[in-house]
Amino acid sequence: MERHKWQCGTSVLDKFLAFKVAHMSCTTRQISKINDCCTVHDSCYEKKKLSKEKCDTLMQDCFEAAVSVETGSKRSTCRALMDGFEAAVDLFGDSAYGNAK
């Protein structure tokens, strides 16, 4: 995946770091699906038809499906990274949800 298409993160720095660690921890198939999850999550925040909590739960379910396309060590390392992504959303997502268009 090209970096300019990467959607996970809120700032340029967040996106850059998330992109780099995803490429170290996950396979190309997982990365593509994870990026789709982030795009859907951003849209959920922007539309505000659902609560932040519901948007976040949908993202977590999407991440689980994305990670599950692989088996073995890449599944484990990618799952650990998604735990980190989810923790970041828990910690910093309130402002992103509140500031969404």
Q: What pLDDT is stored for residue 4 in this prediction?
A: 86
Start-to-end CA span in the chain (Å): 26
For the chain, give me the number of helices (H) and strands (E)?
4, 0
Of 10, 83, 94, 11, residue with least CA distance to 51 = 94
Query: Domain-by-domain residue ranges, the chain?
Result: 27-99
**Residue 85, pLDDT score:** 96
Say what the pLDDT of residue 101 is. 66
How much is the pLDDT for 99? 84
Give me the pLDDT at residue 88, please: 94
What residues of the chain score a pLDDT lower than 70? 101
